[in-house]
Homo-oligomer: A and B are copies of this chain.
Amino acid sequence: MGRASKREEIAEAAFRQFHTRGFNATGINDIAKAAGVPKGSFYNHFSSKEESALEALKRYADTLRFDMLTAQDRPPLERLRAHFEFLSGDTVDNGFVRGCLVGNFGAEIADHNEEIRAAAKRGFDEWAARLRRVLAEAQEAGDVDGSLDVEVTALFILSAWEGTLIAARVDKSEAPVDAFFRTVFGGILRSSPPSQVTSD
């Protein structure tokens, strides 16, 4: 048990360090120090920084509360909104730092490490698939326009969210997050077009 628990502490520390500092700025010394273990302990549990980064991506995915998207407790678009409100809470409440670990790894190391890129791609693919399912449900319920391409829209919304987090960190303000909610929920996913009289 002691061994498993130490691995858990190191893995959690690695996740927090990567999320706070980024990949390249995080050294194994930083991880060991944050976990309160000697550096050698890290290598008892992980073969490399990359391996701990791959585990960090899994841990990050577990924080995204995908269950909020699938729980049948309210209409699909409300669940979608609640999902992004939950995610924006982390950024807003913490002073616009850290962002999304998948996007951060995408921006910083996807070009240079094929294994981490592939893991980030799996993360985005799975996330986009979950968004797509909620959009399909919303479409089936008549809550979004039947002509909406849910696959394209899910992919776009995920990209837009990733960029929104970066813009919020750069701006140190909620403005990009507000723009995301207004454009996605008040524009792209608005079921009925602006009222207009179609006289001839």
Contact residues of A with B, CB < 8 Å? 20-22, 24-25, 97-99, 102-104, 106-112, 117, 120-121, 124, 145, 147, 149, 152-153, 155-156, 158-164, 166-167, 169-172, 175-176, 178-180, 182-183, 187-188, 193-194, 196-198
How often does this chain occur in the complex, in copies?
A: 2
- Contact partner of A194 (CB less than 8 A), chosen from B99, B117, B145, B179, is B145
Binding site of A, secondary structure by majority: helix, strand, loop or mixed?
A: helix
Show 19 residue pairs from A and B whose CB-CB distance is below 8 angstroms, ordered by the A residue.
A21-B112, A24-B25, A98-B111, A99-B107, A104-B107, A110-B166, A111-B169, A117-B169, A117-B170, A120-B170, A152-B178, A156-B180, A159-B163, A159-B166, A161-B163, A162-B166, A163-B164, A187-B187, A197-B198
A-B contact sample (5 more), CB < 8 A, given A110-B169, A110-B170: A103-B166, A106-B170, A120-B170, A155-B179, A162-B163
Residues of B within 8 A of A145 (CB): 194
Cβ distance A25 to chain B, nearest Cβ, rounded Å: 5
A73–B61 alpha-carbon span in the complex (Å): 47
